[in-house]
Amino acid sequence: MDRKAFQDCYPDMFSHCYGCGRLNERGLKIKSFWEGDESVCTVKPEPYHIGMKGFVYGGFIASVIDCHSTATAAAAAYRREERGMDTDPPLRFVTASLHVDYLKPTPIEGPVELRSRVTEMHERKAVIETDLSVSGTVCAKGMVVAVKIPASMMPDS
Q: How far is the CB of 37 from its own copies (least distance, A)?
A: 25
Cβ proximity to its own copies, 4 vs 99, nearer residue:
99
Asked whether 93 and 77 are in contact (CB, 8 A), the reply is yes
34/12 Cα distance (integer angstroms): 22
* Nearest-approach distance from CB 82 to its own copies, in angstroms: 27
DSSP-assigned beta bridge partners for residue 140: 102, 132
Comparing CB distances to its own copies, the nearer of 59 and 111 is 59
Q: Which residues contact 156 (CB under 8 A, 6 or more apart)?
A: none
Q: Which residues bind its own copies (CB under 8 A)?
A: 13-14, 16-19, 24-27, 46, 48-53, 57-60, 62-64, 66-67, 94-102
Nearer to its own copies, 48 or 152 (CB): 48
Please tell me what DSSP assigns to residue 90: P
Q: How far is the CB of 2 from its own copies (least distance, A)?
A: 26
Please state the separation of Cα 128 from the chain's center in Å: 9
